[in-house]
Structure 1
Amino acid sequence: MNIKEKILLFMKDEAYKPLTINELMQALEIEQSMKKEILKILNELENEGKIIFTRTERYGIPEKMNLVIGTLEGHQKGYAFLRPDDKEINDIFISPVDMNGAMHGDKVIVRPMKISEEVKSPEGKVIRIIERANTFVIGTFQKSKHFGFVVPDDKRIATDIFVPQEYINNAKSNSKVTVKITEWPEKRKNPEGRIVEVIGDIEDTKTHIEAVLLAKKVRQFFPEDVIKEAIKVSAEGIHEQEYKRRKDLRELPIITIDGEDAKDLDDAVYAEKINDNEYKLSVHIADVTHYVKEDRKLDKEALKRATSIYISDRVIPMLPKELSNGVCSLNPNEDKLTLSVDMTITADGKVTDYTIFESIIRNHYRMTYTDVSNILEFPDENQELLDKYKEILPMLKVMEELSLLLRRKREVRGAIDFEFPETKIITDEKGKAIDVTKYERRVSNKIIEEFMLVCNETVAEHYYWLNMPFVYRIHEDPEDEKMYEFSKFIHNLGYTLKGNNDVHPRELQQLLLKIKGTKEETLINNMMLRSLRKAIYSPESSTHFGLAAQYYCHFTSPIRRYPDLQIHRIIKGQINGKFSEAALNKLAERTVAVAEQSSKMERIADEIERDTDKIKIAEFMSDKIGEEYEGVISGVTSFGIFVELENTVEGLVHISNMVDDYYVYDNEKKELFGQGSRKVFKIGDAVRVKLVSVSIAKAEIDFVLI
């Protein structure tokens, strides 16, 4: 135990009372000569929010002093909620007058106020700001005669930022800018700042995409030393030793199946039918760890990113293109290093035998989802494709057969399969959105999906029973309260759940089957998804609720996901017997850090993809003002109804534009009804709408009912 841990443990003792630094050193029998070092440690603990330095110059533990540490979740009206670090403590409401200069995202110490019967939720007051979250803010600049101000894009930052004349730096009104805060807010005084970057004009879509990426601190460009390392390792080629020590599968007709535009091909497959009751499935994944060595520049940069980010007009990769599209990608007719899993699978979908090994393969055919689906779904209409791929036609049919067996097995155990219509945004060569359509999930997509799922489960279970440090993909059971609310909600629509709170995923799966094709399908799908927890990465194995799987991990995409890369490193180390006891202890620490960073960056990537999609959809609709559409009500709120068009574009009919009656919102039924006409608007109703306005800046689309 180091001295920092010793000090913290001593302070957490029940009998501890706040002490001065000298009293603390005396109690711990620390020499006065170490006072400078102890002061540094105490400052570190204070900055981390683990201890607090009082006005009487004493050190204590916040919890013992009726103080709570957490992060502020702001609101545009000026108040905030403290999200405590200790998840056992409920959120605390902070009124605007009790913010004490704190802003959204800041890590703070809050003193809870006395709770009376009149107060519905605990309230508190910010007494100290531990860490500022918003040194730089993205927003829209507005210029006055002698000063300017920035309206933050993030509405949770409730105040505009004042910019003195000398710090405007040639920014023009209606420019999207980055402002650096130089003075933090005080009572009746806005924060001040200076413009450090003009991103672009708010009329330009690219400006808003760039603003999203900057706000999320996305690493868009690779440092020069990382690029140099990528070029160097890419030029090395495959050493003769690798051909000798790996299993050579180059003669096997292994194929890849991906989207037409995909350049980072990290999974290849092969299948055959052994007999009437058994299949062989081989999954081959790019051996990225051969090129990306632990703690080298490439690896450190990859961990910072943790995932590739896919937006409509480009990919922001986890690895430089020399690796992601080049030496690591399983491009056709090239020798590639892989990590393979051979599985024997029975006709009821059970994996009865498997091996995990290092290999070298050749991709015989670079197939696309469209071509494989056309071959299997419409063979009579695609003779040219049948002729072109005649060598592997029998294998494609075996793959389809096997994927259906695997899917059936998952359905029987209760895996939840959401059938959301995914949005596909098509852009021209300049990146402008020219079409928005539904993304088709056809037979080939389902084949690859099932093969990757069974492979991930097999690998996860194997390493669970080896009791090795590992990175699992887990999806915890839903919270009882959320399931209760969901059960209550669907009851109003005529559906019930067995078990209510303690629900098995099979119950949810059966509900999805019942509502398929009904008007309320989208609503229930969305509400169910919101009632479930988010899947995360974890060093501890746990069930995956959504998949109804006992063991699960992400093994199959090391080019674009860091957890997969980390898992490959563990597998190769175990296969080659490289782990000493000390190495395993170090690895256990690393898996904790990798799981945490990967979960965090995945959430950010999801937010970016969602936000940029909304901007591009608004861009696509911006020249269609006045056009009329058939749509379906996809959401009902107190402020209006959301309408989804056939192509998945969604817009709002604001209640202020529903002028034919006075409409009242029924929260239980999620309906709006007219008090005079008794007209009801509910989820799933077909409506006709006219597009009246589009804001690319706000990513908002507004309709009126016809």
Structure 2
Amino acid sequence: MDEFERRKKLIEELVKDELYVPMKIKELAIFLQVPKEQRQELAKVLDSLVEEGRIGLTRRGKYTKVENTSYTGVYESTKRGFGFVTVEGMDDDIFIPESATGGAFHGDTVRVAVTKQHAGKKRMEGKVIQIVERGIKELVGTYQDNRTFGFVVPDNAKISCDVFVPSDKSMGAMTGHKVVVKITNYGTATRNPEGEVTEIIGHINDPGTDIMSIVRAYDLPVEFPEDVMTSLKNIPSEVDEKDKNGRVDLRNLKTVTIDGEDAKDLDDAITLVKNDDNGKVTYRLGVHIADVSHYVTEKSALDKEAYKRGTSVYLVDRVIPMLPHKLSNGICSLNQGEDRLALSCIMDIDSNGSITGHRIAETVINVDRRMTYTSVNKIVTDRDEDERAAYADFVSMFEDMDELASILREKRRKRGSIDFDFPETKIILDDNGNPVEVKPYERNKATRIIEDFMLAANETVAEDYFWQEMPFLYRSHENPDPEKIQRLATFINNFGYSIHKNSDEIHPKELQKLLARIEGSDEEMLISRLTLRSMKRAQYTTECVGHFGLAAKYYCHFTSPIRRYPDLQIHRIIKENLHGGMNQKRLKHYDSILPEVAKHTSQTERRADDAERDTDKLKMVQYMENHIGEEYEGVISGMTSWGIYVELPNTIEGMVPVTSLKDGYYTYDENHYEMVNDLNNKTYKLGQRVTIKVAGTDRMLRTIDFEMVSAAENVQSSHMERSEQSNGKANRRKKAHSK
């Protein structure tokens, strides 16, 4: 053992000693009586031990036992070899260099030791020291036959290695087949993983295979188990008369549903009565939600399967429902002209949008008209004569709805609710599943009416059960990370904007005011996107921490129990409470199960979102395959050190690789979100309008490559000039304030 290794062993034993107290390098040097001229050598020894994961380094620079600075999280690999570990409760992930992955596979739960703390940054660097649990047991990919053996190229681009398949484990798969492969050996740094084919989905060119490959990759359950289908025999096709007993009968109220043309699972209906008492206007708004929990009882086969799925998944060419069609499109769907059981939130609202009283009750309703967003928008916005004549008995109610929705929206705006109006994507397919049109899905007055009414009901129910101190599931959106808000504040200062915050807290109204100030400006898209990225993701929690984006103290998901399990869960709690059954035993029961329900449904929601996003990206790639060489105008929507992302008006996004920019060498200025030409100081920046040409597509990676054709003249000058301008503006503001 050489001298360096001997010193490492000595210090490692010291740090592991039970009596050892974490120390900085200077303290260790004094303790070990290391002279100043040898402290550099001590630093090398300590760095080596930390990098090897044998001792730990705290955020304050103290050396300690490795278990004190190790974390358990989920490893996410990249196609370039390095990866990141996401630890629950930590805002920033831990960077894992390619040499420190420890054989971890994408999706594994791992134990990671922190090896470096980057000065001025929150992100830590680490080394995987233990694989706790394998995350991916099987994967989906494209089979390639190589005579005596085969291999599967994973669809997931984050998995950089192919999976070796012995010929006798291929199930007869041919080149081009999409397959599911079970991993039998995870390989090493020098040897690929090994597996066996368990399912052949279909050939890559067969219609529907592409979407089904994504469905299988995300392990989305498609077929319902036999016990679930058997239990449907006990579900009636019509509401039983005895089930109406004891309910509030609202069948005499004028009732409508308003949904998309293709919707079949109609889980919310609306009633509205406007009163004018000598100029004092009030509204009674009824939001009536399908009483799914009446048919899906706790711990039944239907309930267990609904919990497992967590949510319905809406893909481009299909819906994977949370509940079987006999429920979602049948007895639980609020179909026109049919008696239905509902859980209703009936709110009394004044002319200022304040909810002055409410009642939550089990009801019986009967929908008079099944309306579409298109039809209602024609009535209230276009004032289409034919449409108004067709629904003459309902026109005044729709106009009252529009009026009340505007009042509720204005009340939310005044308290600081943030409305990001980025368009969603609508993809039209032909009979063979080929995309023929990609366009933004436009919101209109009718969609906003329903949004506003659902928000009101969700808030009302959440506040009611918060004050009852009942176990409950809330939809929570936490305050943004202070560091991200500080970066946003620093950046927008370059454009002459500012946001006010108290210490580490910011009120949503400040972000709302910022979005209002930039509306119509050249930097609107840029700052809107950065503002959105500075915010956290909403999730389900058992604690009522509020909803930052809506500027709401109380919020839950109450209005969609057909397609979301959290809604179904809280319906069950509400109904049990209404019937007086919420005794100590049941309170304890819900206290014990709800944390896991919140965690699981947040995960299934994320899975559904990812699957929906991937199917959209796939169809966008297929659409652009037929438009290679064509030019489009777009807006720069994102940047990395390796490329510039451009979004087209139809919502399709592609990337211009930095290596394809032909007028010089560009570097990415992360602080100003700019790509800067080192020779002539030319810049590309977020929000800038550009003209691109479609250069190529890759179905496997689901990517679209663009080439830069031209860019609109920068409204803002270069980042160096802007810094000078912003300093000048800051000085002028200080002078004005001093007056």
Equivalent in the alignment of 1:312: 316
> In 2 relative to 1, CA 360–429 (structure 1 residues): closer, same or farther, beyond 3 Å?
farther
Alpha-carbon spacing, 1:177–1:279, altered in 2? closer, same or farther (3 Å):
same
Instruction: Decide which moves more: 555-564 or 76-85.
Output: 76-85
**Residues 233/504 of structure 1: CA separation in 2 closer, same or farther (3 Å cut):** same
Q: Is the 8 A contact 1:267 1:330 kept in 2?
A: yes
The residue number in structure 1 matching 2:36 is none
Counterpart position of 1:335:
339
Aligned to 2:298: 294
Change (3 A) 1:522 1:67: closer
Q: In structure 2, the residue corresponding to 1:213 is in which secondary structure?
A: helix
Alignment partner, residue 20 of structure 1: none
Confirm whether residue 550 of structure 1 aligns to residue 563 of structure 2: no
Q: What amino acid maps onto 1:542 in structure 2? A: V
Partner-residue secondary structure (3-state), 2:455: helix
1:79 corresponds, among 79, 82, 86, to 82
Give, in whole Å, the separation in 1 of the partners of 2:484 and 2:463. 30
Partner of 1:223: 225
Change over 3 Å in CA distance of 1:639–1:75 after alignment to 2: closer
Q: Distance in 2 between matches of 1:166 and 1:239?
A: 57
Q: 1:652 to 1:288 in 2, by over 3 A?
A: same
Residues 261-289 of structure 1 deviation map (CA, whole Å, 9 limit, x = unaligned) = 00010000011211233111111100001
Report the Cα distance in structure 2 between the residues aligned to 1:636 and 1:436, rounded to whole angstroms: 23
Structure 1: distance between partners of 2:530 and 2:659: 26
Give the direction of change, closer, same or farther, for the CA distance of 1:701–1:293 in structure 2 (3 Å limit): same
Does structure 2 conserve the Cα–Cα contact (< 8 Å) formed by 1:137 and 1:180?
Answer: yes
Q: Which residue of 1 aligns with 2:164?
A: 162
* Structure 1 residue 374 corresponds to structure 2 residue 382: no
Q: Return closer, same or farther for 1:205/1:484 CA change in 2, 3 Å cut-off.
A: farther
SS in 2 for 1:208: helix
Which of 592, 615, 620 is the equivalent residue of 1:617? 620
How do 1:618-697 residues align onto structure 2 when only pairs under 5 Å count? 618-676=621-679, 678-697=681-700
Maintained 8 Å contact 1:234/1:322? no
* 1:129 aligned counterpart, secondary structure: strand
TM-superposed CA distance for 1:361, in Å, is 0.6
Deviations 1:4-57 (A, max 9, x none): xxxxxxxxxxx99xxxxxxxxxxxxxxxxxxxxxxxxxxxxxxxxxxxxxxxxx
Larger mean Cα displacement after TM superposition, 481-490 or 152-161: 152-161
Distance 1:198 1:364 in 2: 48
> Does the Cα contact within 8 Å between 2:473 and 2:570 map onto a contact in 1?
yes
Q: Give the counterpart of 1:511 among 511, 514, 521.
A: 514
Q: Deviations over 1:305-347 (max 9, x none)?
A: 1111111211111000111011100010001000111111011
Residue aligning to 2:602:
599
| TM-score, normalised with respect to structure 2 | 0.82
**Structure 2: gaps spanning 5 or more residues:** 1-17, 20-64, 710-739
Find the aligned partners of 1:201 and 1:369 in 2 and give their Cα distance: 39
| 2:644–2:658 CA contact under 8 A, matched in 1 | yes
Question: Contact 1:307 / 1:317 at 8 angstroms: preserved in 2?
Answer: yes
Residue 493 to residue 231, structure 1, CA distance change in 2 (3 Å): farther
The residue that corresponds to 1:10 in the other structure is: none
Q: Deviations over 1:184-204 (max 9, x none)?
A: 223522221122223333445
Q: Which residue identity is paired with 2:356?
A: T
TM-score (norm 1): 0.86
Correspondence 1:340-489 to 2 at 5 A = 340-379=344-383, 382-489=384-491
Q: Deviation digits for residues 448-498 of structure 1, max 9, x if unmatched?
A: 111011111111111111111111111111111111112122223332111
Does the aligned pair in 2 maintain the 1:622–1:696 contact within 8 Å? no
Take 1:526 and 1:230, find their aligned partners in 2: how far apart are those partners?
Answer: 46
Cα distance change, pair 583–253 in 1 and its aligned pair in 2 (3 A): same
Q: CA deviation at 1:67?
A: 5.1
Aligned counterpart, 1:104: 106
Cα displacement (A) at 1:81: 3.3
TM-aligned CA distance change 1:488 to 1:121, over 3 Å: closer
Cα distance, 1:700 vs structure 2? 1.6
Superposed displacement of residue 123, structure 1: 5.1
SS of residue paired to 2:389: helix
Does the 8 Å CA contact 1:72/1:81 hold for their aligned counterparts?
Answer: yes
Give 1:338's aligned amino acid.
A
Question: Could you say which residue in structure 2 is the equivalent of 1:325?
Answer: 329
Report the secondary structure of 2:513's partner residue. Answer: helix
Match of 1:530 among 529, 533, 546: 533
Matched, 1:263 2:264: yes
Report the CA distance shift for 1:686/1:98 in structure 2 as closer, same or farther (over 3 A).
Answer: closer
CA RMSD in angstroms, aligned pairs only: 2.6
- The answer on whether the counterparts of 2:207 and 2:433 sit within 8 Å (CA) in structure 1 is no
Which segments of 5 or more consecutive residues in structure 1 lack a partner in the other structure? 1-14, 17-61
Cα distance change, pair 66–391 in 1 and its aligned pair in 2 (3 A): closer
Distance 2:588 2:142 in 1: 49
3-state SS of 1:459 partner: helix
* 8 Å contact kept, 2:239–2:331: no
| Number of residue-to-residue matches in the alignment | 645
> 2: CA distance between counterparts of 1:442 and 1:114?
51
Contact kept? 2:476, 2:547, Cα under 8 Å: yes
Higher deviation after alignment, 139-148 or 598-607: 139-148
Structure-2 separation of matches of 1:655 and 1:179: 35
132-141 or 211-220, larger mean C-alpha shift: 132-141
Q: Distance in 1 between matches of 2:368 and 2:640?
A: 53
Question: Using the alignment, how far apart are the partners of 1:281 and 1:615 within structure 2?
Answer: 42
SS state of the match for residue 76, structure 2? strand
Tell me how far 1:384 sits from its aligned partner: 1.5
Q: Distance in 2 between matches of 1:80 and 1:365?
A: 53
* Alpha-carbon shift at residue 116 of structure 1 (Å): 11
Shift of 1:180: 1.4
Instruction: Report if aligned partners of 2:66, 2:113 keep a CA contact under 8 Å in 1.
Output: no
Aligned residue number for residue 190 of structure 2: 188
Per the alignment, residue 497 of structure 1 pairs with 499
Shift of the alpha carbon at 1:597? 1.2
Give the C-alpha shift of residue 138 in structure 1: 1.8
**Contact 1:205–1:696 under 8 Å retained in 2:** no
Which amino acid in the other structure matches residue 190 of structure 1?
N
Distance 1:619 1:90 in 2: 35
In the TM superposition, residue 648 of structure 1 has moved relative to its aligned partner by 1.7
Q: One-letter code of the match for 2:662?
A: V
- Cα offset, 1:409, TM superposition: 0.3
Match of 2:283 among 257, 273, 279: 279
Q: CA deviation at 1:131?
A: 1.3
State the alpha-carbon separation in 2 of the partners of residues 695 and 669 from structure 1.
30
| Alignment CA distance shift 1:105-1:489 (3 Å) | same
CA distance in 2, matches of 1:253, 1:567: 27
Once residues 522 and 120 of structure 2 are traced to their aligned partners in structure 1, the CA distance between those partners, rounded to angstroms, is: 42
From the superposition, tell whether residues 502 and 687 of structure 1 become closer, same or farther in structure 2 (CA, over 3 Å): same
Distance 1:113 1:638 in 2: 25
CA distance in 1, matches of 2:73, 2:669: 35
Comparing 220-229 and 494-503, the one that deviates more: 494-503
Q: Cα offset for 1:699? A: 1.8
